[in-house]
Chains A and B, each alone.
Chain A
Amino acid sequence: MAFLKATLLIAALQVRVLIQSIRFVICALVALVPAGIALAAGGTTDTEKIGADLSIMLLQFAAPLVGLILGSVVIAEEVEGRTITFFFTRPLHRSALFLGRWAAVALVGGVLIAVSAATVSYGSSHATFRDLQPELHWELQAERATGWKTTQTGSQSVVRYQDEFRDNRRKHVSHLEPGEIIELPMDRRGRPQRIIATERKPRNLDLPEGFAGLLMLSGSLGAAIYTIITAGLSIFVKRPMILGLAYAFAVEGLLANLPGSTQALSVQFYLRSILIDPESPMWNRWSSMGSEFLEPSQAILRLSVFGLILLIGCSRAVVRKQFLLTS
Chain B
Amino acid sequence: MSDPVLDVVPEETSDQVTSLIEARELGRWYGEVVGLSDLSVVIQPGITGLVGPNGSGKSTFMKLIVGELKPSRGGVRVLGHQPFANRELYRDLGFCPQQDALYDHLSAHGFLAHLLRITGMSANESKQRAKRALGRVGLTEAMHRKCGTYSKGMRQRVRIAQAIAHDPKLVIFDEPLSGLDPIARHQIRTIFKEMVEAGSSLLVSSHVLHELQGLTDRIVLIHRGRLLAQGSVTDIRRLLSQHPRRISITSDAPVELAVELMRLPGVRATRIAENERTLTVETRDAQGLFDQLPAIATRLKAGITSLDSDDEDLEAVFDYLVD
Determine if B277 is an interface residue (Cβ-Cβ < 8 Å): no
Stretch with Cβ within 8 A of B (4 or more), from A88-96, A145-153, A154-162:
A88-96
Determine if B41 is an interface residue (Cβ-Cβ < 8 Å): no
B63 vs chain A, min Cβ distance (A): 8
B70 / chain A contacts, CB cutoff of 8 Å: 322
Q: Find out whether the CB atom of B114 lies under 8 angstroms from the CB atom of A17.
A: yes
A91 vs chain B, min Cβ distance (A): 4
Q: Find out whether the CB atom of A90 lies under 8 angstroms from the CB atom of B119.
A: yes
Q: Within the complex, which residue of B30, B67, B120 is in contact with A89, where a contact is CB–CB below 8 Å?
A: B67
Q: What per-residue 1/0 map shows which CB atoms of B107-124 lie under 8 Å from chain A?
A: 000000011011110000
Stretch with Cβ within 8 A of A (4 or more), from B84-92, B149-157, B232-240:
B84-92
Q: Which residue of B lies closest to A321 (CB)?
A: B85
Give the contacts of B49-88 with A (CB-CB under 8 A): 59, 66-70, 84-85, 87-88
Q: Find out whether the CB atom of B85 lies under 8 angstroms from the CB atom of A319.
A: yes
Q: Which residue of A lies closest to B115 (CB)?
A: A86
Q: Within the complex, which residue of B91, B97, B162 is in contact with A82, where a contact is CB–CB below 8 Å?
A: B97
With A90-B119, A92-B90, A324-B69 in contact, do A21 and B114 touch (Cβ < 8 Å)?
A: no
Q: Which residue of A lies closest to B112 (CB)?
A: A86
Stretch with Cβ within 8 A of A (4 or more), from B16-24, B98-106, B180-188, B282-290:
B98-106
Q: Within the complex, which residue of A9, A21, A88, A322 is in contact with B118, where a contact is CB–CB below 8 Å?
A: A9
Q: Within the complex, which residue of B67, B95, B103, B118 is in contact with A10, where a contact is CB–CB below 8 Å?
A: B118
A236-B98 Cα distance, complex, nearest whole Å: 24
B115 / chain A contacts, CB cutoff of 8 Å: 86-87, 90
Q: Which residue of A lies closest to B102 (CB)?
A: A83
Q: Find out whether the CB atom of B98 lies under 8 angstroms from the CB atom of A327.
A: yes
With A13-B118, A82-B99, A83-B101 in contact, do A88 and B68 touch (Cβ < 8 Å)?
A: yes
Determine if A297 is an interface residue (Cβ-Cβ < 8 Å): no
Q: Find out whether the CB atom of A89 lies under 8 angstroms from the CB atom of B91.
A: no
A89 / chain B contacts, CB cutoff of 8 Å: 66-68, 90, 93-95
Binding site secondary structure of chain B: loop
A241 vs chain B, min Cβ distance (A): 19
A2 / chain B contacts, CB cutoff of 8 Å: 120
Q: Within the complex, which residue of B59, B68, B93 is in contact with A322, where a contact is CB–CB below 8 Å?
A: B68
Q: Find out whether the CB atom of B90 lies under 8 angstroms from the CB atom of A327.
A: no
Q: Which residue of A lies closest to B120 (CB)?
A: A6
A177-B103 Cα distance, complex, nearest whole Å: 68
A323-B68 Cα distance, complex, nearest whole Å: 7
A235 vs chain B, min Cβ distance (A): 14
A17-B115 Cα distance, complex, nearest whole Å: 12
With A82-B101, A323-B68 in contact, do A91 and B119 touch (Cβ < 8 Å)?
A: yes
Q: Find out whether the CB atom of B114 lies under 8 angstroms from the CB atom of A327.
A: no
A300 vs chain B, min Cβ distance (A): 32
Determine if A85 is an interface residue (Cβ-Cβ < 8 Å): yes
A124-B68 Cα distance, complex, nearest whole Å: 52
A262-B115 Cα distance, complex, nearest whole Å: 45
B114 / chain A contacts, CB cutoff of 8 Å: 13, 17
Q: Find out whether the CB atom of A322 lies under 8 angstroms from the CB atom of B69.
A: yes
A202 vs chain B, min Cβ distance (A): 48
A88-B85 Cα distance, complex, nearest whole Å: 7
Determine if A20 is an interface residue (Cβ-Cβ < 8 Å): yes
A85-B95 Cα distance, complex, nearest whole Å: 8
With A89-B90, A91-B88 in contact, do A20 and B162 touch (Cβ < 8 Å)?
A: no
A10-B120 Cα distance, complex, nearest whole Å: 10
Q: Which residue of B lies closest to A21 (CB)?
A: B105
Q: Which residue of A lies closest to B86 (CB)?
A: A91
Q: What per-residue 1/0 map shows which CB atoms of A305-327 lie under 8 Å from chain B?
A: 00000000000000100111111
Q: Find out whether the CB atom of A81 lies under 8 angstroms from the CB atom of B101.
A: yes
Q: Which residue of B lies closest to A100 (CB)?
A: B118
B90 / chain A contacts, CB cutoff of 8 Å: 89-92
Q: Which residue of B lies closest to A2 (CB)?
A: B120
B93 / chain A contacts, CB cutoff of 8 Å: 89
A323 / chain B contacts, CB cutoff of 8 Å: 68
Q: Find out whether the CB atom of A325 lies under 8 angstroms from the CB atom of B99.
A: yes
With A90-B90, A91-B88, A324-B69 in contact, do A85 and B117 touch (Cβ < 8 Å)?
A: no
Give the contacts of A9-28 with B (CB-CB under 8 A): 9-10, 13, 17, 20-21
Give the contacts of A67-97 with B (CB-CB under 8 A): 81-83, 85-94, 97
A195-B91 Cα distance, complex, nearest whole Å: 86
Q: Find out whether the CB atom of B103 lies under 8 angstroms from the CB atom of A83.
A: yes
B84 / chain A contacts, CB cutoff of 8 Å: 322
A88 / chain B contacts, CB cutoff of 8 Å: 67-68, 85
A17-B94 Cα distance, complex, nearest whole Å: 24
Q: Which residue of A lies closest to B84 (CB)?
A: A322
Q: Which residue of B lies closest to A324 (CB)?
A: B30
Q: Find out whether the CB atom of A90 lies under 8 angstroms from the CB atom of B118.
A: yes
Q: What per-residue 1/0 map shows which CB atoms of A196-209 lie under 8 Å from chain B?
A: 00000000000000
- Chain B residues engaging chain A, CB cutoff 8 angstroms: 30, 59, 66-70, 84-85, 87-88, 90-91, 93-95, 97-99, 101-103, 105-106, 114-115, 117-120, 162
- Chain A residues engaging chain B, CB cutoff 8 angstroms: 2, 5-6, 9-10, 13, 17, 20-21, 81-83, 85-94, 97, 100, 319, 322-327
Chain A to chain B contacts (Cβ below 8 Å), 14 pairs:
A5-B120, A10-B118, A82-B97, A83-B102, A85-B99, A86-B115, A87-B115, A88-B68, A91-B119, A92-B87, A92-B118, A325-B68, A326-B99, A327-B98
> 10 smallest A-B Cβ distances: which pairs?
A82-B101, A91-B90, A89-B95, A82-B99, A91-B87, A91-B91, A83-B101, A85-B97, A327-B99, A90-B119
